[in-house]
Amino acid sequence: MKVIQSLDPRITRALLSEQPEMSHLTSNELFETYEVFHQAKTGARHIHVGSVHAPNAEMAYLFAKEQFGRRMTTTSLWVARTTDIFTTNEDAELYTTANAPEKEYRNATIWKVRDKIDRFKKEHSSDLPSQETVSSQEQE
């Protein structure tokens, strides 16, 4: 093992070697990675917020509560082992309508529901109580 000679005396005094000794970790020293998913309110979708390292799922949940649950409003947290999550990028073109134009119904933008809702509101606006009427009823 050759000691590194440097112009910086701190490096020379540290007796650093060019080939650091490799130490192998035991299974008790290795933590698994868990992905954390957060739900802001009941009925909302879970969103990936980060990862934690823990020896088991119970500890991962506790770490997730500490790390992500107390910083934002949370109704639910999921932890999942990273190795259990399967993702794919090579099949992405299967899910686009560019390769299958006859399947445009899969794309939500072709449905003009918003126009129908606005038209309905305009037609029935006289039937609905005005905002002033609603607020005066609430005050009573």
**Distance between CA atoms of 47 and 41, rounded to whole angstroms?**
11
Most confident range (mean pLDDT) of 7-21, 22-36, 89-103 is 22-36
Domain-located, residue 113: no
Domain-located, residue 59: yes
Asked if 1 and 17 touch (Cβ cutoff 8 Å), the reply is yes
Domain-located, residue 94: no
With H, G, I as helix, E, B as strand and everything else as coil, classify residue 34.
strand
Residue 20's pLDDT band (boundaries 50, 70, 90)?
low
Print the domain residue range for 75: 28-84
Domain-located, residue 67: yes
pLDDT in tens, 84-125: 988 776 666 666 656 666 666 666 666 677 778 888 888 888
Domain-located, residue 42: yes
- Give the closest residue to 55 by CA, choosing from 35, 34, 69: 34
Number of structural domains in the chain: 1
pLDDT in tens, 45-63: 999 999 999 989 999 999 9
- Whole-model pTM over 0.85: no
Query: Residue 38 belongs to what H/E stretch?
Result: strand 32-39
- CATH of residue 53's domain is 3.10.20.520
